[in-house]
Structure 1
Amino acid sequence: MSLSDADKCEKGVQTMTRTEQFSILFHEQEDCREVEQMQKIEEMNGLIDEMNEIEFKSIFTKELFDKIYRMIEKKILSLESAILLLKHVGYFRELKTIYLESIDYSLLSERMKEMMIDENEKKKERNEKILTDICECYALLIEVSIPKKLLSIVVPCLLKVALKKDETDEAQKEVEMSLPALGNIGFWEIEQKLYLNEIKEIIEYHQEHQNLTRLAYQSAWQFLMNRFYNDRTLEEVITNELHFSKEAKELKDLSKYVDWKRKEERKGEREAKEVLAIWRWFFVIDNYFCFCKLWNEELVGLINSFAQMLRASRDNYPDISHQCLYSLRSAAEKRNVEIDNFLKSGTIDAVLEEIQQPTINDDIMWNGLLFFLIISERLKEEDEESEVKRNATKMKIFEKMEEEGYEDFIESFREMFDFLNRYSVNQLSIIISDYFLNA
Structure 2
Amino acid sequence: MGPSVSEFINESSGKLRVERFFELISGLRNFNNTDQKVIIKELELVMKAMDKNELEGALTVGVFELMIFEEMSKKEGKSERLLIDLCECYYLLSDDNINEKMAPSITSCLLKVASNEERSINIQKEVEMALLALSEGSRGTLVKGSQPLEEMIDIIYHHNDHRNLTQLAFQSAWRFMINNWHRNSNSQIVVVASMIFLTVVKRELKELIKCVDWKREDEGREKIRSEPKATQMIIRWLDVLGNFFIMCDKWDDDFNEVVRFVVELFRTARDNEQEISEMCTHALKMLARSKNSSVDIFEKCGVSEMISQEINCRDSNDKITENCTVILLLISAKSKDKADNDTKVEKSEDGSKEDN
TM-score, normalised with respect to structure 2: 0.72
The correspondence for 1:322, drawn from 278, 283, 287, is 278
**1:129 CA drift (Å):** 2.7
| Residues 291 and 113 of structure 1: CA distance in aligned 2, closer, same or farther (over 3 Å) | same
Backbone CA RMSD of aligned residues: 4.0
The correspondence for 1:295, drawn from 241, 248, 251, is 251
Q: Is the 8 A contact 1:289 1:334 kept in 2?
A: yes
Q: Is the 8 A contact 1:136 1:158 kept in 2?
A: yes
Give the aligned partner of residue 156 of structure 1.
Answer: 108
Q: How does 1:210-359 map to 2 (within 5 A)?
A: 210-228=163-181, 231=183, 233=185, 237-238=189-190, 240-242=192-194, 243-249=196-202, 250-262=204-216, 268=225, 271-334=227-290, 336-357=292-313, 359=315
**1:216 CA drift (Å):** 0.9
**1:160 CA drift (Å):** 0.5
Between 1:210-219 and 1:351-360, the stretch displaced more is 351-360
Q: Secondary structure in 2 aligned to 1:195? A: helix
Q: Is the 8 A contact 1:66 1:108 kept in 2?
A: no
Q: Is the 8 A contact 1:235 1:292 kept in 2?
A: no
Q: Is the 8 A contact 1:69 1:107 kept in 2?
A: no
1:116 equivalent in alignment to 2:68:
yes
Q: CA separation in 2, counterparts of 1:79 and 1:109?
A: 24
Q: CA separation in 2, counterparts of 1:362 and 1:211?
A: 40
Q: Is the 8 A contact 2:149 2:181 kept in 1?
A: no
Per-residue displacement from partner, 1:314-368 (whole Å, max 9, x unpaired)? 2233343233223223323435445444344333332233223264536444443
Q: Secondary structure in 1 aligned to 2:313? A: coil
Q: Is the 8 A contact 2:98 2:140 kept in 1?
A: no
Q: CA separation in 1, counterparts of 2:15 and 2:96?
A: 14
**1:240 CA drift (Å):** 3.8
**1:298 CA drift (Å):** 2.4
Q: Is the 8 A contact 1:308 1:350 kept in 2?
A: no
Query: What amino acid is aligned across from residue 356 of structure 1 in structure 2?
Result: N
Give the aligned partner of residue 198 of structure 1.
Answer: 151
Q: Secondary structure in 1 aligned to 2:250? A: coil
The correspondence for 2:123, drawn from 157, 168, 171, is 171
| Residues 173 and 319 of structure 1: CA distance in aligned 2, closer, same or farther (over 3 Å) | closer
Give the aligned partner of residue 126 of structure 1.
Answer: 78
Q: CA separation in 2, counterparts of 1:214 and 1:65?
A: 37
**1:213 CA drift (Å):** 0.9
Per-residue displacement from partner, 1:89-117 (whole Å, max 9, x unpaired)? xxxxxxxxxxx998675267544333322
Q: Secondary structure in 2 aligned to 1:286? A: helix
| Residues 161 and 376 of structure 1: CA distance in aligned 2, closer, same or farther (over 3 Å) | same
TM-score, normalised with respect to structure 1: 0.59
**1:228 CA drift (Å):** 4.2
Query: What amino acid is aligned across from residue 245 of structure 2 in structure 1?
Result: F
1:146 equivalent in alignment to 2:98:
yes
Q: Secondary structure in 1 aligned to 2:98? A: coil
Q: CA separation in 2, counterparts of 1:215 and 1:295?
A: 28
Q: Is the 8 A contact 1:225 1:284 kept in 2?
A: yes
Q: CA separation in 2, counterparts of 1:64 and 1:299?
A: 55
Q: CA separation in 1, counterparts of 2:256 and 2:53?
A: 38
Query: What amino acid is aligned across from residue 166 of structure 2 in structure 1?
Result: T
| Residues 355 and 193 of structure 1: CA distance in aligned 2, closer, same or farther (over 3 Å) | closer
Query: What amino acid is aligned across from residue 355 of structure 1 in structure 2?
Result: I
Q: Secondary structure in 1 aligned to 2:249? A: coil
Q: Secondary structure in 2 aligned to 1:261? A: coil
Q: CA separation in 2, counterparts of 1:296 and 1:103?
A: 50
Q: CA separation in 2, counterparts of 1:217 and 1:80?
A: 37
Q: Secondary structure in 1 aligned to 2:272? A: coil
Q: Secondary structure in 2 aligned to 1:192? A: coil
| Residues 107 and 381 of structure 1: CA distance in aligned 2, closer, same or farther (over 3 Å) | closer
Q: Is the 8 A contact 1:161 1:178 kept in 2?
A: yes
Structure 2: 5+ residue runs without aligned partners? 45-51, 218-222, 346-356
Per-residue displacement from partner, 1:186-235 (whole Å, max 9, x unpaired)? 33232125512211211222233222111111211222233246x26268
- Residue identity over aligned pairs, in percent, reads 31
Per-residue displacement from partner, 1:46-104 (whole Å, max 9, x unpaired)? xxxxxxxxxxxxxxx99988665444448797279859x99xxxxxxxxxxxxx99867
Per-residue displacement from partner, 1:351-403 (whole Å, max 9, x unpaired)? 23322326453644444344344434434544659x9xxxxxxxxxxxxxxxx
| Residues 66 and 328 of structure 1: CA distance in aligned 2, closer, same or farther (over 3 Å) | farther
Q: Is the 8 A contact 2:214 2:272 kept in 1?
A: yes
Structure 1: 5+ residue runs without aligned partners? 1-25, 31-60, 87-99, 388-439
Q: Is the 8 A contact 1:155 1:194 kept in 2?
A: no
Q: Is the 8 A contact 2:21 2:58 kept in 1?
A: no
